[in-house]
Amino acid sequence: MMRILLRVCFIAALLVCYVLSCASEHEKRKGEEFQSPDKNADSNIKVKRNYATENDRSPTKKVKKTGSKRVSMGPRSDIRCTKLGGICQPNHYICQGRYLKDKCLGAKTRQCCMPVGAWSILCAGHHNNRVRACDVHGCGAFNSRRGNNLHKAVDLVCDDYGIVNTPFSGSLAGPVSRKDPAGHQYDGVKLLNDVHCVKIFNIRPYRYIGPVAQGEALGYLLPLQEHFSGITSHLELQMCDGTDPSPFI
C-alpha cells in the first residue's frame, strides 16, 4: 500500500513540473511576440535613414551664377534684314550695295548686305534714279567738288513740278532747309525709318508729318531755272549721317 502512494506522489510531481514548464515556455513566446513590432519599427527606421543618406549623397546640379549685369541680346533672326530686301552674310564677302550692322543673327561679322537699287524710283516718269551729270553749275555725284567743299549728297534728275515719290516706307519728321554759299535756300522734308534717314531738298511736300508708304506721292519738284539758268532740274538726296546714298538708289 505504501509503494502505491509513493508512485502516485511521484507521478503527480512529474505532472506539476510538466505543467509549470509548459506555462514558462508559453510566457516566453508571448514576450517575444510582444517585442517584435518594436524590432520591425527599428528596422524600418534604419532603412529610411539609409535611404535618406543615399539620397543626400546623390549628385546635385550645379547652378551657374550670373552677375547682375544684363547681357545684351542681338537679333533673334534675320527678319530685320530680309524685310528690307537684304541678305545676311559674312562681311568679308563682296556686297554690291552696302552693309548694314546689327540686322542679322549671329556674330557681328555677319551683316546685312543691301542690294543696289533697294529704294524705289523717286521721280515720277523716270525709269531709274539717274544721277545728275555735270553741267555749267557743277556735278551731282556724291563727293563731287563744290568750290572748296565736297557735295555730301546726290542730285537726282527730275522734271520741274514733277511728282516725287517716297523711296522707302517710313515717317515724315518735319521740314528741313539749307543755304548754299551764295545764300540760296533749299527747302524739303526729312524721311526716316528704323534703318534709313534722309533729307530730300528742293521739293514741296504735301505734308511734313506722319507715316508714308514706299512709292506714295511725297510732293513735287521746285524749279531751279529761275536762279540757275541752264541747270539740270533735280532734287537733292542727303543721308542724315552724311554717308553716300548711292548704294540704295
Task: Report yes or no: 142 and 244 within 8 Å, Cβ to Cβ.
Answer: yes
- Residue 1 within any structural domain of the chain: no
- Residue 109 within any structural domain of the chain: yes
**Residue predicted with more confidence, 66 or 94:** 94
Whether 15 has a pLDDT exceeding 50, the answer reads yes
Cα 95 from Cα 75, distance rounded (Å): 21
pLDDT value at residue 61: 45
Task: Report yes or no: 218 and 173 within 8 Å, Cβ to Cβ.
Answer: no
- Residue 12 within any structural domain of the chain: no
- Residue 106 within any structural domain of the chain: yes
Residues 150 and 225 in one domain: yes
Residues 168 and 209 in one domain: yes
Residues 221 and 154 in one domain: yes
Cα 181 from Cα 129, distance rounded (Å): 27
- Residue 107 within any structural domain of the chain: yes
Whether 25 has a pLDDT exceeding 90, the answer reads no
The residues near 227 (Cβ < 8 Å, ≥ 6 apart) are 184
Residues 93 and 161 in one domain: no
Domain range for 188 is 145-248
Residues 219 and 163 in one domain: yes
pLDDT value at residue 21: 66
- Residue 56 within any structural domain of the chain: no
**Residue predicted with more confidence, 196 or 183:** 196
Count other C-beta atoms under 10 Å from residue 155's C-beta.
Answer: 26
- Residue 130 within any structural domain of the chain: no
Residues 244 and 152 in one domain: yes
- The secondary structure of 207-241 as a DSSP string is -SEEEE-TT-EEEEEPP-TTTSTTPPPEEEEEETT
Q: What is the mean pLDDT of residues 165-184?
A: 90
Q: Look up the CATH number of the domain holding residue 220.
A: 2.70.70.10
Of the candidate ranges 12-21, 65-74, 101-110, 131-140, the one whose mean pLDDT is the lowest? 65-74
- Domain count along the chain: 2
Task: Report yes or no: 155 and 132 within 8 Å, Cβ to Cβ.
Answer: yes
Q: What is the mean pLDDT of residues 70-92?
A: 78
What is the helix (H) or strand (E) element at residue 81, kind and residue range? Answer: helix 79-82
**Residue predicted with more confidence, 137 or 46:** 137
The residues near 198 (Cβ < 8 Å, ≥ 6 apart) are 167, 190, 191, 192, 237, 238, 239, 240, 245
- Residue 27 within any structural domain of the chain: no
